[in-house]
Structure 1
Amino acid sequence: MDGDSGTAGSTQAAEGFPVTVSDCSGSTTTFAKAPAKIVTSNASSLELLLRLGAGSRVSGTGWPPGRGTMPAALDAQAQKVKVLSRTVIPKEKLLGSGADLYINTFGAMKMGGGGMGDVPSEKEFAAAGIKQLQLKTTACAAKADRPVTDLAAVEEDITSLGAVTATADRARALVDGMRAKVDAVRKAVGTVPMSRRPTYFLFDFDAGTKQPTVVCNRQIAHAVITLAGARDIFADCDDDRRQVGWEDVVAKNPDWIQIAVHNHGSASANKRAFDDAHTWLRTNAATKELKAVREGHLLRIGLERSTIAGVANADTVEEIAKALYPDKVR
């Protein structure tokens, strides 16, 4: 997407406010006007703001994108954003950032085996003049009461973010583009009976190899896998994530494995992580005889593209479907 267009929605801003959004607990926050200084918790929420054309209002981020890890049209803008932390933004730095909005991708969830640090309280956010907006697709996943089977919640996150930042038209265009890709895949593979769809395992390499941490049916990745025409081997797990044993993976013997690594800070570092995960699967006694490994059915797709709300969720649906159904999805 080309340069920032944060002022494009100024007319609709006057007409579209106040805007009220809710968090995972159902509490609401009302915005009387579009925020002027935004801090994002990680690269995924930053990317959404860049795609919406609100990049000039982002004053800082945690978990920053490495150079070359975002789509080319957004990468230059992303590299100009001040890095407040390479991981979770420290409480004092966040409260002293001068932001009027903090976009919280993860809420209080655990990530990568560790907690999210000393998160400011609601009173502390209010005292600092900072409002919060959660990407509920990710932050609320553990509280979901049913399996996630579509990208509706992702679309709602994008729509809410567009409303708050006065970029509703851009948000609508992004959602329409996502729907077009997913609908095309659904049309191509929708007639394949569930019993004939290949089984699929998302391997979160960075979460540890001693005991795999798998995504379950409350996680958006489950919807991505299902929409692509695959059968998630942990579809019966009523949670967002869970640790299992390798014997559980071996028993299910997936047809395809997605090697999913976190953003390691650069394209070259990501490649090394993918290579390491690939080598581990091919040499580890517990995995080297898996059908997907023996047949080379290993997809390299970054973890965030599957597990965190964003436009890339639809791209990942398309990418998986093209690999699994090359004669149907082109």
Structure 2
Amino acid sequence: MVPVRRLAALVVATIPLAACGAQVAENPGTRTVTVSRCGEEVEYTTPQRAVVYEGGSADKMFALGLTDHVHGYVMPPANPPVEESPWAAEYAKVEFLGDDLLNKELVVEAKADFVVAGWRSGFSDERGITPEILDGLGIQSFMHTESCYNYPNHPEKVTPFEALYTDLERMGRIFDVESRAKDVVADLKDRVEKVRSEAPQGDPVPVFLYDSGTDQPFTAGNQVPPNEIIEFAGGRNIFADLDQRWTQVGWEPVVQAKPEVIIILDYGDQPAQEKIDFLKTSPTTASLPAVVNNRFYTLDYNEGISGPRNVDGLEGFAEYLRTLPS
């Protein structure tokens, strides 16, 4: 998309700062700053050897021109190939560390001094890799603000796009590139406002996001980016009243809501066409208005999880809605 190239160009224009190690090249790691991490005030020294999990984490670093601070990335099978990313050239400059879930052993072996991931999408009590555990190992960590809603006691509840801007601003502070972060956030906000100003008037079209699942569907509540992608584009998420992130629901409420558009979340290991074929052949969903009228929109996995590509997903979906007959 042209807009994402503009964001990439914005980063390229500021690369000389990154080449200087985010202004700490003479004494790397000596600068400290206190930044919030899911409601906890944490003191960070400027990281030099970051490990990032999933596309959203890597994209946030790359969008800020911080490739020189990234040692490597872990990319689970759900994530589409990095070669398809607008930051493909940046991925090529860092090390591929694995295609499975994030774990403590991998991080230690990589000699990471900073780990970026979401809560339960990277960090996990069950898998033994949490910010608290990494703190004990002397490894800094950063959690996506959007994912803090799942963190024990809900220490932060921020709407998804505001959470994206918050992450970029906080990472800008950690890496001493606040001016660059401000420019990136301003560009993203301008693009979002442009979409909102052009949204169709009248009653918003009911939209169902289909993530996965056959016996019961997995979908988006109001605490994840697709909810605002749908809303800002001029639609209405049929599960916008669910105070959840990604959640399982029943087919009955989907049928009752009569969605006129279905967004298919396209995983690397669960192709969108397979999901569309299921919806067309299942007796439960075959008569839904969206299915009957073949109104499917494919959202890339990295446009649906917290990251700069949320805005690309918004622009693409908004353009699709504008093509529908009124």
Fold conserved (TM > 0.5)?
Answer: yes
Aligned to 1:320: 317
SS in structure 2 of the partner of residue 310 of structure 1? coil
Q: Distance in 1 between matches of 2:216 and 2:48?
A: 44
Aligned to 1:267: none
Aligned to 1:232: 237
Equivalent positions of 1:295-306 (< 5 A) are 295-306=293-304
Cα displacement (A) at 1:12: 12
Q: CA RMSD in A?
A: 3.0
More strand per residue: 1 or 2? 2
1:30 aligns with 2:27: no
Amino acid at match of 1:252: A
Amino acid at match of 1:83: F
CA contact (8 A) 1:149 1:222 kept: no
Amino acid at match of 1:37: R
Which TM-score applies when normalising by structure 1? Answer: 0.82
Equivalent positions of 1:280-299 (< 5 A) are 280-299=278-297
**1:140/1:148 CA distance change after superposition, 3 Å:** closer
SS in structure 1 of the partner of residue 42 of structure 2? strand
Cα displacement (A) at 1:39: 0.6
Aligned residues: 306
Aligned to 1:90: 103
Q: Distance in 1 between matches of 2:131 and 2:157?
A: 30
**1:298/1:181 CA distance change after superposition, 3 Å:** same
**1:122/1:300 CA distance change after superposition, 3 Å:** closer
> Bigger CA drift: 252-261 or 57-66?
57-66
Identity of aligned residues (%): 25
Runs of 4+ aligned structure 1 residues displaced above 4 Å come to 2-5, 11-14, 121-124, 141-150
Q: Distance in 2 between matches of 1:327 and 1:245?
A: 28
The answer for unaligned runs of 5 or more in structure 2 is 1-7
Equivalent positions of 1:61-210 (< 5 A) are 61-63=73-75, 66-71=81-86, 74-104=87-117, 106-107=118-119, 109=120, 117-120=126-129, 124-141=133-150, 151-189=161-199, 192-193=201-202, 196-205=203-212, 208-210=213-215
The answer for unaligned runs of 5 or more in structure 1 is 265-269
1:58 to 70, 86, 91: 70
SS in structure 2 of the partner of residue 48 of structure 1? helix
Amino acid at match of 2:303: R
SS in structure 2 of the partner of residue 30 of structure 1? strand
Which TM-score applies when normalising by structure 2? Answer: 0.83
Q: Distance in 2 between matches of 1:89 and 1:147?
A: 24
Cα displacement (A) at 1:23: 2.2
Cα displacement (A) at 1:123: 5.8
Amino acid at match of 2:197: K
Amino acid at match of 2:134: F
Equivalent positions of 1:258-297 (< 5 A) are 258-264=263-269, 273-297=271-295
Cα displacement (A) at 1:201: 0.8
Cα displacement (A) at 1:289: 1.3
Aligned to 2:33: 19
> Bigger CA drift: 4-13 or 242-251?
4-13
Amino acid at match of 2:144: L
SS in structure 2 of the partner of residue 221 of structure 1? helix
